[in-house]
Each structure stands twice: as C-alpha cells, then as structure tokens.
C-alpha cells in the first residue's frame, strides 16, 4: 500500500492523501481580493487528486503584500471572495488551507512579469516597508525598523486574518516564516540586528514567530490544524542554520503548530544553493527530529516514486510540490497511477484511469 496515498489525520481534519500543493503566488489579485483566476486555479488541483491545497501567501495587512497584486485577508470583502473558492475545493474532495503572511522588507515589489524590477515607488502604488531592522534586501528600498507597538499591531493582524480564514471555511492555517519575509527576517541574524527582546539570541529572534503561532492557534481552536513554513537555512554565511531550525521546530510545536513545512533560502540575494531533485528533503528530516516534529518536505519533487521515497525514508510526514502541479494539475492522479494506488477519481475522468 502506498504511504503517499494513505490518509493522514491532524486534529479534526482528515487528509485523503499526503501529496499536497505548496502555496504559490499568482500576483493576480485586485486590492487583495482573489479573482476568477483563483477560482479556476486552485480547485483544479482538487480534481487532480491533491490531498491539501495551500493557497498562496495571503497578507494580513496591506503593507505586508509582496506586490500590489497579492491577495489578502485584512478585510471582510476579501474573506467573502475566498469562501466560494474554498467551497469549490471541498466539492472536489480535497482540503484547502491558506498561508498567512507579511512580506516585511521584501514587500512593495513589482510582480514577476512587470517590465520593472525592484521596489514599487509610492507614485505607482508602492509603500514604505517594515522589518526588524533598517537593513534592505539587496536591490530593494530600505525598510523602517519596527517599534514595539508595531509588532503588537502585526500580531493582532495575524489573529484577525486567521479568524477571517476560518469564517471563509479554510481547513488549515499556515504561518509563513520562510523565504526572507517578515517572520524569517526576525529569525535570521543577517536581517535582525535588534538589541531588544526580539534580537540577539535565537530565543529572542524567534519570539515574534512564536507569538504569532500562539495567537493563530488561539483563533484556530482545538480542531483546525496550524502549520508553520520555515526556511531551514539561509544558504549564506552567518545566517539561520538547520540546527537553529530544528530548535525552532520544537518550539513551534510547543506553541501550537501541528506541522512544520520545511523550505529554505530567500533571505538574501547572495545565497548559494545546490539545486537538485529533492535538495530540501534532508532539511525536513533534520527538523523532524526523529519524529518529534511532524514535517512536510518540498523541493523539486516531480514523481510519485520520489514522493513515496520521501515518506518511506521517514524524512517527512507529507510531501508538498509546487512547479510539478503547475506543469500537471493532475499530478496526484498521475502519481497514484504510477504507484498503483487505489484512489477515487472524479467520474468525469474515469475513462483515463486505466488506459
């Protein structure tokens, strides 16, 4: 029996399999509101056999958006626009989560296919960014260092966005602590130069992340799974390390997280990454800490056999994929067919099941 296509229960949610869709930004929102694009884009993965679909980085504040075209959950109009998308996914048999995010110093940037690069000027809809310290990401505008009251405001914004996500019907809440965005910026000594209770030792650098996790867990109650995505290494000298990530993973579980979604990089432009199939899987294994922390693995996972090996090797408890789902929105059905796993197909697709 395929482990990849065995169910997994976390709190009161049962995932039909362990092959999940990573959050991937579409840069297609208007005023933070998901559009018809999102209503077609996300449910297609449910029809294609995904067990869980994580919606893209969804900002908890307007200034927390990566670009002016990012989705949000800072108001009720956005909440109401997400609800039918959630319903469409449920009707196709999958669960759906949302990644709650704040982009920090990497906010207010042009979307990938814009003719410009770098920070969006105020006159073109950009804004002043905020971060743990007034240290710019290479090529972007210098952010404003957050004061204590600003930090409290951001924690409250995560709590409010979590409640809106629940009201929209999402099954999972993921806190985005990876890829060089705000919570990751606090974790890394390369971007966090603070000397107060949020800087210095790892326990201090992790303080905001853990505060956010606790407030999201409080909003989620006892039934809804809470995930954390982290970058387990900065791939740069003097940065956040896998050993530190393993410790943060343990603290995250104590703070109410149920799974750590392990990625890497994104904090600095001068990172050096050896990219190859499954290159981040060992990081998930390190954070998993021998089974004490439930983890998800990601990173150029492109076949059912490869994903199955991640689980049977006990490197992770679930597998996330991104680009492969974009190339083939029916990756789940293809992987099940490859592994000979008995999974439910939509009756509309049954004719493709065996031949």
What is residue 215's three-state secondary structure?
Answer: helix
Give the number of other Cβ atoms within 10 Å of residue 14's Cβ. Answer: 12
What is residue 56's three-state secondary structure?
Answer: strand
Asked, for residue 1, whether it belongs to a domain, the answer is no
- pLDDT at residue 221 in the model: 97
User: Along the chain (355 residues), what's the average pLDDT of each consecutive run of 10 residues?
Assistant: 95 98 98 98 97 98 98 98 98 97 98 96 96 97 97 98 98 98 98 97 98 98 98 96 96 97 95 91 93 94 96 96 97 94 86 76
- pLDDT at residue 346 in the model: 87
- pLDDT at residue 106 in the model: 98
Compute the Cα dihedral for 44, 53, 232, 179 and give only its sign. Answer: positive
Asked, for residue 269, whether it belongs to a domain, the answer is yes
The answer to whether residue 181 is catalytic is: yes
Boundaries of domain holding 231: 8-352
- pLDDT at residue 355 in the model: 63
CATH of the domain at 148: 3.20.20.70
Chain centroid to CA 59: how far? 12
| Secondary structure percentages of the chain, helix, strand, coil, to 5 | 40, 15, 45
Domain count, the chain: 1
- The values of phi and psi at residue 335, to 5°, are -65, -40
What is residue 308's three-state secondary structure?
Answer: helix
Give the orientation angle of helix 242-254 with respect to helix 207-220, to 10 degrees: 30
- pLDDT at residue 342 in the model: 85
- pLDDT at residue 271 in the model: 92
Joined tokens for residue 112: 């990938």
- Annotated catalytic residue, options 181, 198, 279, 349: 181
Distance, in Å, from the CA atom of 86 to the CA atom of 225, rounded to the nearest integer, reads 16
């Amino acid at each position: 029996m395929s482990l990849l296509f065995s169910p997994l229960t976390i709190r009161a949610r049962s995932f039909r399999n362990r092959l999940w869709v990573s959050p991937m930004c579409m840069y297609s929102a208007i005023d933070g509101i998901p559009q018809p694009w999102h209503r077609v884009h996300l449910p297609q993965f449910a029809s294609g056999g995904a067990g869980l679909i994580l919606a893209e980085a969804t900002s908890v504040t307007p200034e927390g958006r990566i670009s002016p075209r990012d989705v949000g959950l800072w108001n009720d109009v956005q909440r109401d626009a997400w609800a039918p998308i959630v319903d469409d996914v449920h009707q196709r048999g999958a669960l759906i989560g949302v990644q709650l995010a704040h982009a920090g110093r990497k906010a207010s940037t042009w979307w990938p296919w814009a003719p410009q690069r770098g920070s969006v000027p105020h006159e073109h809809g950009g804004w002043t960014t905020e971060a743990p310290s007034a240290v710019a990401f290479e090529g972007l505008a210098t952010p404003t260092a957050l004061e204590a009251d600003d930090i409290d405001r951001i924690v409250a914004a995560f709590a409010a966005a979590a409640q809106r996500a629940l009201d929209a019907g999402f099954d999972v809440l993921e806190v985005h602590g990876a890829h060089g965005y705000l919570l990751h910026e606090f974790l890394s000594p390369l971007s966090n130069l603070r000397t107060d209770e949020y800087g210095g030792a790892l326990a201090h650098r992790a303080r905001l992340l853990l505060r956010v996790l606790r407030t999201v867990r409080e909003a989620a109650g006892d039934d809804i799974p809470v995930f954390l995505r982290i970058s387990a290494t900065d791939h740069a000298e003097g940065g956040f390390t896998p050993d530190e990530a393993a410790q943060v993973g343990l603290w995250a579980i104590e703070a109410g997280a149920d799974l750590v979604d392990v990625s890497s990089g994104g904090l600095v432009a001068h990172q050096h990454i050896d990219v190859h199939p499954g290159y981040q899987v060992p990081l998930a294994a390190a954070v998993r800490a021998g089974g004490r922390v439930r983890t998800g693995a990601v990173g150029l996972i492109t076949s059912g056999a490869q994903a199955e090996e991640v689980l049977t090797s006990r490197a992770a408890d679930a597998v996330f994929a991104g680009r492969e789902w974009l190339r083939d929105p029916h990756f789940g059905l293809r992987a099940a067919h490859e592994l000979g796993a008995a999974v439910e197909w939509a009756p509309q697709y049954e004719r493709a099941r065996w031949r």
